[in-house]
Structure 1
Amino acid sequence: MVTCKETRAVIIALHKKGFTGTDIAASKIAPKPTIYQVIKNFKESGSIVVKNASGRPRKSSKRQDRLLKLIQLRVRGTTSTELAQEWQQAGVSASALTVRRRLLEEGLVSRRAAKKPLLFRKNIRDRLIFCKRYRDWTAEDWGKVIFSEESPFRLFGASGKKLVRRRQGERYHQSCVMPTVKHPETIHVWGCFSAKGVGSLTILPKNTAMNKEWYQHILREQLLPTIQEQFGDEQCLFQHDGAPCHKAKVITKWLGEQNIDILGPWPGNSPDLNPIENLWSILKRRVDKQKPTNSDKLQALIMQEWAAISQDVAQKLIDIMPGWIAEVLKKKGQHYKYSLLPSTSCNCQ
């Protein structure tokens, strides 16, 4: 029952004059149940003041709540049931539901853990060194870089979750499931791109591992034509990560002989600094959407959709590089949500 003090005073004044609850309700000053409750409270307490209900006493003190928060922050993956058991050792007997409520009050929400490459101290230090070195680069500066990387494509291997709308009983309907196979066929590709658009893309032969011999072959047959086509005699930089075959002496020597300058040194475990990661995501979504059923169709779709990626998409991915660098510096070398930075709306569908 929620009534203001003035309304309760009027109800009691009318009651004292002999008006019944029904008579008072006829004036529509308040609902009939409320009027009867106000009169009842007045008869019991002799006052129009409504006492606050005591409710169920809280099971934990503020100090105990802070302790629960510290326990959770110490090991983020601890479940609410496990926390309830630890909390009990501190003298608080509470259910897992109560634990979740207390943590929500503290702003700790349960979410699926993000999957990111493990960053050791050296990785963090190298990321900071790299970002400080290029912190003043503009999108125009980054436009002179050719980014490259290898990536796997799996048949029936769409990554992430697939959302469907279904009726009751349709969970296993063919149109509502995402097909998987135990050992999906995997195709490995190498590609490169710059702000001028996508460059060459090559599919490695089946059961072929990338080694220094294959890598030199790819650089000669794929990278050199891309540099010539996109930059001609203009100065450009080439980016590749620190994979063993990339750092091989024969590769370093060959790149020097071709007068190809390298961006870097590139920090390890840092796919979030390479815009080609986003390009792979775009390509995989487009390919998965067409549901290839065999290896030949998968390869054909990879080449087809790669060629269909516009220069505008490539430019937008390069334009967000200064923002990524700033975010890593802001996070002191740690991971960040690199696909959705402010002021980088990129409609890359």
Structure 2
Amino acid sequence: MVTWKETRAIIIALHIKGFTGKDVAASKIPPKSIIYQIIKESGSIVVKKASGRPRKSSKRQDRLLKLIQLRDLGTTSTELAQEWQQAGVSASACTVRRRLLEDGLVSRKAAKKSLLSRKNIRDRLIFCKSYSDWTAEDWGKVILSDESPFRLFGASGEKLVRRRQGERYHQSCVMPTVKHPETIHVWGCFSAKGVCSLTILTKNTAMNKEWYQHILREQLLPTIQEQFGDEQCLFRHDGAPCHKAKVITKWLEEQNIDILGPWPGNSPDLNPIENLWSILKRRMDKQKPTNSDKLQALIMQEWAAISQDVSQKLIDSMPGRIAEVLKKEGQHCKYGLFESTSCHCQ
């Protein structure tokens, strides 16, 4: 089949050789109206691009818009249009979005991350440099622990729905909230060998050193024995006050439990157990428990359902986490794509 470009070239070639429009039309290549239109043009076989509507801004003004946006990435397109207007460009917010899209600047939901102080960044670098040569096999000998809260009516804090226009407030499109949602606190630990038994705190229980020592005695010791036996392992917990209490430090020494650390503060992206909490909370959201008893039962059920393969993959990610934090000079890494859910003992 002859293409339009080939047809155009044939017509122009025949015309240059002296054939009239009538002669070319006799060949019945294209309609006669098309033939005369082509002949009237300059003779180029390249299809001319339509001029279209002229751009409202020059390249220089486009660069200015990009600089304004990069100065504050949270500026809205409406605000940018107002600032751009002061530079002499009268354009809508829609035009602003198109210009920024051309430069690859797309509007996205901001990731929620823990605020890092200079001390946090320094501590993160010290920690990561200390363990930069550790392999996944080395991390497989570590038990990581943490506490986390679970709330009724949307544990993860957000819900995405696909809806039609006018269905914004339809029952199936709304995430119910309450002013004072009931909260359940849990303690758990895991290693590359799997998760331990999860502990749910009794309501109004004080998360102090006495409570924590009880948890370690009743949960950590059996986990170490079950998963490692006589094999040497390390225990990791964060710097919460009850974790650092002298009585806890002494008790751990008496049990010959070595501590991994010191662990840097505000670093959920370095702790794979945060991923377990995130997985667990998404599962809670899907099942929509309606009361405290159902929530507790679901937490225990879904925690026990976390496979050893998931635990292994999370532990295996530790060398990558450390390498990326070092690459980013102590700043956040991609592994912390969730909001920190840790709670702290008193």
| TM-score for the superposition, normalised by structure 2 | 0.84
Tell me the CA shift for residue 144 of structure 1. 0.8
Equivalent position to 1:201, from 198, 209, 213: 198
Distance of 2:207 and 2:37 partners within structure 1: 81
Distance of 2:21 and 2:84 partners within structure 1: 57
Aligned to 1:86: 83
Tell me the CA shift for residue 157 of structure 1. 1.9
Tell me the CA shift for residue 64 of structure 1. 2.8
The 1:210/1:109 distance shift into structure 2, 3 A limit, reads same
Distance of 2:335 and 2:146 partners within structure 1: 17
Equivalent position to 1:312, from 293, 305, 309: 309
Distance of 1:244 and 1:33 partners within structure 2: 87
The 1:73/1:170 distance shift into structure 2, 3 A limit, reads closer
- Say whether 1:268 aligns with 2:269: no
Distance of 2:63 and 2:14 partners within structure 1: 46
Aligned to 1:155: 152
Q: Secondary structure at the match of 2:331?
A: coil
Moved more, 2-11 or 261-270: 2-11
CA-based RMSD of the aligned residues comes to: 2.9
Aligned to 1:303: 300
Tell me the CA shift for residue 230 of structure 1. 1.8
Aligned to 2:38: 38
Q: Is the CA contact 2:113–2:336 (under 8 Å) kept in the aligned structure 1? A: no
Equivalent position to 1:110, from 107, 111, 136: 107
Distance of 1:34 and 1:121 partners within structure 2: 71
Aligned to 1:129: 126
Tell me the CA shift for residue 145 of structure 1. 0.6
Return the letter of the residue paired with 2:126: I
Distance of 2:146 and 2:256 partners within structure 1: 20
Moved more, 48-57 or 216-225: 48-57
Alignment of 1:46-57 (within 5 A): 47-49=42-44, 53-57=50-54
Q: Is the CA contact 2:153–2:177 (under 8 Å) kept in the aligned structure 1? A: yes
Q: Is the CA contact 2:152–2:182 (under 8 Å) kept in the aligned structure 1? A: yes
Distance of 1:289 and 1:141 partners within structure 2: 35
Distance of 1:159 and 1:18 partners within structure 2: 73
Tell me the CA shift for residue 337 of structure 1. 1.9
Q: Is the CA contact 1:147–1:240 (under 8 Å) kept in the aligned structure 2? A: yes
- Which structure 1 residue ranges, 5 or more long, are not aligned? 341-349
Return the letter of the residue paired with 2:43: I
Q: Which structure exhibits the higher relative contact order, with contacts defined as CA atoms closer than 8 Å and separated by 6 or more residues?
A: 2
Give aligned-pair identity as a percent: 83
The 1:32/1:244 distance shift into structure 2, 3 A limit, reads farther
Distance of 1:179 and 1:115 partners within structure 2: 22
Tell me the CA shift for residue 56 of structure 1. 3.8
Distance of 2:111 and 2:332 partners within structure 1: 10
Q: Secondary structure at the match of 1:215?
A: helix
Q: Is the CA contact 1:238–1:261 (under 8 Å) kept in the aligned structure 2? A: yes
Q: Is the CA contact 1:81–1:95 (under 8 Å) kept in the aligned structure 2? A: yes
Return the letter of the residue paired with 2:28: S
Tell me the CA shift for residue 249 of structure 1. 2.9
Aligned to 1:19: 22
Aligned to 1:278: 275
- Which structure 2 residue ranges, 5 or more long, are not aligned? 338-346
Aligned to 2:29: 28
Q: Is the CA contact 1:324–1:338 (under 8 Å) kept in the aligned structure 2? A: yes
Q: Secondary structure at the match of 2:184?
A: strand
Distance of 1:339 and 1:116 partners within structure 2: 7
The 1:20/1:66 distance shift into structure 2, 3 A limit, reads same
Q: Secondary structure at the match of 1:220?
A: helix
- The one-character-per-residue Cα deviations of 1:131-154 (angstroms, maximum 9, x if unpaired) are 111111111110111100111111
Q: Secondary structure at the match of 1:292?
A: coil
| TM-score for the superposition, normalised by structure 1 | 0.83
Q: Is the CA contact 1:157–1:184 (under 8 Å) kept in the aligned structure 2? A: no
Distance of 2:149 and 2:322 partners within structure 1: 26
